[in-house]
Chains A and B, each alone.
Chain A
């Protein structure tokens, strides 16, 4: 039995919208094992994004516990959360979210900058990663000079910069055509299969979800269905 890398225990998130309380998560429980490829699916408003923010340490729950590597992160300060995010989690966003003023290489190196790692190490590591996503020849281009698929590959490289344990992908193919989306998903799948990275993706696209080992269906802020997708399991 593999160990849990992320565990959500009865997590609630309540937003105050004027006088109305919105329950984005209503007792969500989730257990992600090391090396797993998990897809979270659900209609809009089901709490997918909120769940991703919780898992990614971008937000803290109103109630309940989140355990990352056995440590409760729900009580951490903003600075400690930033530290955890930088070291343990790699983000991939639907809109790529690269910094437009920086080159591909600098974008990939940025998470390493925030970990105060020396310049040489940073460049070496970032170059390696860009070669892995087959963008070695586009290193010095700015995001605007790259296609959508290339930008998302830069984002994948960036998510790997600090060797995180978990890659968190929020609709990673949402802004890409199906062919490019497929290439990106293949990269993610390879990371999972070959590098043993834990990958959690949020999507409403079943083509994305089919790459995952397990699919959790969310509705009204909790899991309503769980599906094991691994062939041969």
Chain B
């Protein structure tokens, strides 16, 4: 029996083709907005997370603050970190290890093609192991650097793709870093971080000797704490030390001590606020869409008053009339939702494809979970039915005598 009501409802919607579509626009714009914006927002979150997310909760980074217009973090600052600072930080209570990191931007040439990239130092001695575990460094091809390696580099996973140089770089190949020839000894595992996947790693000493990096200008001091639970305390300790060392007052610090995890959490909460805002806008749009459904359904009840009277006179109970109208508005919501989901998906994936192709940025990517899709569909159906209840109830309660007498 309900199947017949369903068929009848579908037929009515088809009959009012243009109006049904117009009503659904309200829904599918809302749903498309929800699906695409949440998908892209989630994608952005995933992308940001993957940049630093592999750094554990027990890691701190110390940087000199200042304006760095271009280049890697900590370069071009007014008052760089001194190279003996790491040793002092090591003595702060709760610090397990601290070592200098040097970053250098420059050119990389291979296969007669030139690219721009960031070279990063790998500490030597006991800090090398700590660094390798800290960032979970593993070679996918070849090997990692040894202390004895000079004029040797390990490259990020992206160099395997051969996008920049027209051909994949393999261990054993030679590349030119700032015009100087290096041997590639290994390719790193993929990290999902565009910084790490396109990095050029070389030994610290090589960087000073061959590239000419200034040993006295440290870009970042990486700190590993003993107990992740006490990271806040350790951070304060380091800040206190640095204020003293650099002779600045509290509140006027010209340096930063960051925990990547905390930074990510702050970023996530910002992103969440943005997403919440999007949710609210989408909710308003959906409420408007829902009212559109209600409006259409009321009009439909008015238009079909006589039809309702006829159906009642030939034995339709109130519940049957209710079902017919209820299903109709539910269908308006659901079909609107399906189209909205399809539009939202195409928009999100389209935009991320454009982002990759035009901007070359992997930050614009869509991450759409099945829950989002199912949720959007259920929500749109619920929206249709909720806003259809009143019109359907009104239709079901129409008096058959008056309905039959109505003009049309």
Knowing A79-B319, A97-B306, A101-B15, the reply to whether A110 touches B314 (Cβ < 8 A) is yes
Knowing A58-B400, A99-B307, the reply to whether A85 touches B15 (Cβ < 8 A) is no
Specify which chain B residues have a CB less than 8 angstroms from the CB of A86 in the assembled complex: 314-316
Q: Kindly identify which residue among A56, A78, A87, A101 contacts B313, using a CB–CB cutoff of 8 Å.
A: A56
Contact B314 A158 (CB under 8 A): yes
| Interface-lining segment among A68-76, A112-120, A182-190, A211-219 | A112-120
Specify which chain A residues have a CB less than 8 angstroms from the CB of B313 in the assembled complex: 56, 58, 85, 91, 97
List the A residue with the shortest CB-CB distance to B307.
A99
Task: Tell me which of A58, A59, A111 has the highest count of chain B C-beta atoms within 10 A of its own C-beta.
Answer: A58
Contact A97 B12 (CB under 8 A): no
Knowing A58-B404, A101-B11, A116-B1, the reply to whether A91 touches B314 (Cβ < 8 A) is yes
Within 8 A of B (CB), among A118-140: 119
Q: Tell me what chain B mostly uses at the interface: helix, strand, loop, or mixed.
A: helix
Contact B320 A114 (CB under 8 A): yes
List the A residue with the shortest CB-CB distance to B2.
A116
Contact with A along B382-408 (1 / 0, CB 8 A): 000000000000000000110010000
Specify which chain B residues have a CB less than 8 angstroms from the CB of A99 in the assembled complex: 307, 310-311
Specify which chain B residues have a CB less than 8 angstroms from the CB of A162 in the assembled complex: 315
Specify which chain B residues have a CB less than 8 angstroms from the CB of A146 in the assembled complex: none
Q: Kindly identify which residue among A58, A93, A101, A102 contacts B401, using a CB–CB cutoff of 8 Å.
A: A58
B318 proximal to A (CB < 8 A): yes
**Bound state CA distance, A102 and B315, in angstroms?**
17
Contact with A along B259-291 (1 / 0, CB 8 A): 000000000000000000000000000000000
Specify which chain B residues have a CB less than 8 angstroms from the CB of A158 in the assembled complex: 314
**Bound state CA distance, A41 and B319, in angstroms?**
36
How many of chain B's residues touch chain A, expressed as a range?
A: 20 to 34
Within 8 A of A (CB), among B1-55: 1, 4, 8, 11-12, 15
Contact B401 A53 (CB under 8 A): yes
Specify which chain A residues have a CB less than 8 angstroms from the CB of B12 in the assembled complex: 101
Contact A111 B310 (CB under 8 A): no
**Bound state CA distance, A131 and B310, in angstroms?**
23
Specify which chain B residues have a CB less than 8 angstroms from the CB of A111 in the assembled complex: 314-315
Q: How far is the CB of B305 from chain A (nearest CB, A)?
A: 12
**Bound state CA distance, A107 and B108, in angstroms?**
79
Contact B318 A78 (CB under 8 A): yes
**Bound state CA distance, A78 and B311, in angstroms?**
13
B312 proximal to A (CB < 8 A): yes
A224 proximal to B (CB < 8 A): no
Specify which chain A residues have a CB less than 8 angstroms from the CB of B8 in the assembled complex: 102
B161 proximal to A (CB < 8 A): no
Knowing A97-B306, A97-B404, the reply to whether A79 touches B315 (Cβ < 8 A) is no
**Bound state CA distance, A208 and B320, in angstroms?**
35
Q: How far is the CB of A67 from chain B (nearest CB, A)?
A: 20
Specify which chain B residues have a CB less than 8 angstroms from the CB of A98 in the assembled complex: 310
Contact A114 B311 (CB under 8 A): yes
List the B residue with the shortest CB-CB distance to A78.
B318
B317 proximal to A (CB < 8 A): yes
Contact A82 B11 (CB under 8 A): no
A83 proximal to B (CB < 8 A): yes
**Bound state CA distance, A111 and B315, in angstroms?**
6
Knowing A58-B401, A101-B12, the reply to whether A83 touches B315 (Cβ < 8 A) is yes
Specify which chain A residues have a CB less than 8 angstroms from the CB of B318 in the assembled complex: 78-79, 82
Q: How far is the CB of B74 from chain A (nearest CB, A)?
A: 73
Specify which chain A residues have a CB less than 8 angstroms from the CB of B315 in the assembled complex: 82-83, 85-87, 111, 114-115, 162
Sample 5 A-B pairs with CB under 8 A, ordered by A number.
A59-B400, A79-B319, A99-B307, A99-B311, A110-B314
- Extra pairs beyond A86-B315, A91-B313 (18, CB < 8 Å): A58-B312, A59-B401, A78-B318, A79-B319, A82-B316, A82-B317, A85-B312, A85-B314, A86-B316, A87-B315, A93-B404, A97-B306, A97-B404, A99-B310, A99-B311, A110-B311, A114-B311, A115-B315
- Pairs of residues from A and B, 5 with the lowest C-beta to C-beta distance, nearest first: A86-B315, A111-B314, A114-B315, A82-B317, A116-B1
